[in-house]
Amino acid sequence: MQRAISLTDNILNEELTRQSGLLGEILIRKGLTVSFAESCTGGLVCKSLTDNAGSSNYFKGGIVAYHDEVKIIALGVKEETLLKQGAVSAECAEEMVQGLERLFHTDIFGSVTGIAGPDGGTADKPVGTVWFSVSINRKIETGMKLFDGNREEVRFKSAIYMMKMILERITEV
């Protein structure tokens, strides 16, 4: 059964479209390329970029590493990291970005991993906990956000935040 689209969903979708368009314009202007590794967003970041005409000029590709097995096999995330820190951790987000650096030849790399819900949260990592990592010029920055809302809202807010995280740092390139 499909959930009805709410006003909040429409607002978040419009904001994601706006942010991805802005990011695309700046990447084209600066002649930069980007790639992503996504978990909890399920490819939403990549999809939002490819919704823009001309995105092949700056978007090289991405990996949806939703399951831990894919994080290990495709991105080289260490099993030890997943066992000790979990998939929703700074360490995992950083290893996902490092995996992208080995696979893609882009200027900017971004990763996102978290708990969109409605299940899966714990006292230490409640639903809405999302880790992000961005690498620009091989300098990795990682951060965590705790988003409220339902599953779709967490996913959209995460994708929007990923775009904003890159936009804030892209001026340095």
pLDDT digits (tens, 9 = 90+) for 133-164: 999 999 999 999 999 999 999 999 999 999 99
Whether the CB-CB separation of 170 and 26 falls below 8 Å is answered with: yes
If you compute the radius of gyration of the chain from its CA atoms, what whole number of angstroms results?
Answer: 15
For position 8, what pLDDT does the model report? 82
Phi, psi of 172 (to 5 degrees): -80, -15
How many whole angstroms separate alpha carbon 4 and alpha carbon 64?
Answer: 25
Q: Answer whether 51's CB lies under 8 Å from 77's CB.
A: no
- Residue 20 and residue 32: Cα distance in Å, rounded? 14
CA angle 57, 58, 63 (to 5 degrees): 120
Average pLDDT (96-113) is 97
pLDDT of residue 9: 81
Domains annotated for the chain, with CATH where assigned, are 7-170 (3.90.950.20)
Kindly report the pTM of this predicted structure: 0.95
In this prediction, residue 173 carries a pLDDT of 66
Q: Say if CB 75 and CB 96 are below 8 A apart.
A: yes
Q: Which position has the token pair 């084209």?
A: 28
Confidence of residue 101 (pLDDT cuts 50, 70, 90): very high
Percent of the chain with pLDDT over 90: 92
Q: Are strands 129-136 and 139-146 parallel, antiparallel or unpaired?
A: antiparallel
Note the Cα 164 to chain centre separation in Å.
11
Going by C-alpha positions, the residue among 153, 52, 134 that lies closest to residue 90 is 134
Q: Which tokens hold the place of 89?
A: 């951790």
